[in-house]
Structure 1
Amino acid sequence: MNKCTSVVFLSPTNHVVSLFAPVHRLEARHVLCELGEDHDDDHADMVWDEGGRPGSAVWARWNGQDVKLASLPWCPALTAEEDACGLFADHPSAHTWDVTDPTLEALRQELAKERPHRSPEFTEEGGE
């Protein structure tokens, strides 16, 4: 499944910036949805991992142009190889290992053409 393409400008108010200033440098920037394209809930992008609180991170959540920050625990799901999902608990859509960023995938394939020995998965012998 492809990654959602929603993007929004995060422009935190001065009081929000001052609240987080001792711990995180919160600046205005664009945030990109990290969820799979089929979700029907708010969009989401992780702003930072809260190192002081195990298992949680601060996420920007939006629907339209209204962006809110929320501290959410990590998704507990693991692959058979024990790789963790990089999204928050109870996220809509698929886990991160089932979501493909089409732009990054296109870049990987272009780079594989230049250096096929480094990317055998994209060569004729590798199945592509």
Structure 2
Amino acid sequence: MKQCTAVVFLPPPDHVLALAVPGHRPEPGHALCELGEDHEGHADHADHAAMLWDEGGRPGSAVWARWNTERTELVPLPWCSALDSRNEACGLFAGHPSGHSWEVTDPTDEAITRVLAARHPHLFPERREGGGG
């Protein structure tokens, strides 16, 4: 499934503003939703979500931006405990809607890879041999 393309602009935190050099106010940053594009169809999980930072891998240590049309908030959430066939963990929060992170495809990354594979096929043997991509 394709990744959701919702974006939120986040102002710099107050402590960053307090440390800024006078006359050089930090710019707002943006975060792109990391969930699968169908997550808005879930009435109880309509919020978009993007992981901002992880404070050491402890349960609930990842800080996520969650937003919808009415509000934006930063919340600590535990990691999803699901593992893929290679025993790699899902990169989303526990109880997330839609698919696990390995099922979500970033359309921008996919488009860039397609162009690079066409121009430099020797760098992408998996796209030539298996007919994938």
Query: What TM-score do you get using the length of structure 1 for normalisation?
Result: 0.83
Aligned partner of 2:58 among 34, 54, 61: 54
Residues 7 and 33 in structure 2, CA contact (< 8 A), matched pair in contact too: yes
Aligned-CA RMSD value? 2.0
Contact 1:8–1:65 (8 Å) recurs in 2: no
Task: Check if 1:82 corresponds to 2:119.
Answer: no
Aligned to 2:8: 8
Gaps of 5+ in 1: none
Q: Secondary structure at the match of 1:110?
A: helix
Q: Equivalent of 1:111, from 102, 112, 116?
A: 116
Equivalent position of 1:127 in the other structure:
131
Contact 1:76 1:84 in 2 (8 A): yes
Q: How many residues align?
A: 118
Runs (4+) off by over 6 Å: none
Displacement of 1:27: 6.9
- Percent of paired sites with the same residue: 58
Provide Cα deviations, 1:98-120, integer angstroms capped at 9, x if missing partner.
Answer: 01011100100111112211112
> What does 1:55-74 align with in structure 2 at a 5 Å threshold?
55=59, 56-64=61-69, 66-74=71-79
State the match for 2:23 in structure 1: none
**Once the 2 structures are TM-superposed, how far is the Cα of residue 34 of structure 1 from its aligned partner?**
0.2
Question: Which amino acid letter does the alignment assign opposite residue 7 of structure 1?
Answer: V
**Distance across 1 between alignment mates of 2:123 and 2:130:** 12
Gaps of 5+ in 2: 20-25, 41-45
What SS does structure 1 have at the residue aligned with 2:73? strand
1:12-42 deviation per Cα after TM superposition (whole angstroms, max 9, x unaligned) = 552xx36xx8xxxx97301100000000320
Q: Deviations over 1:62-112 (max 9, x none)?
A: 002621000000000001210110000000110011010111001001111
- TM (norm. structure 2) is 0.80
Report what 1:29 is aligned to.
29
Residue identity in the other structure for 1:126: G
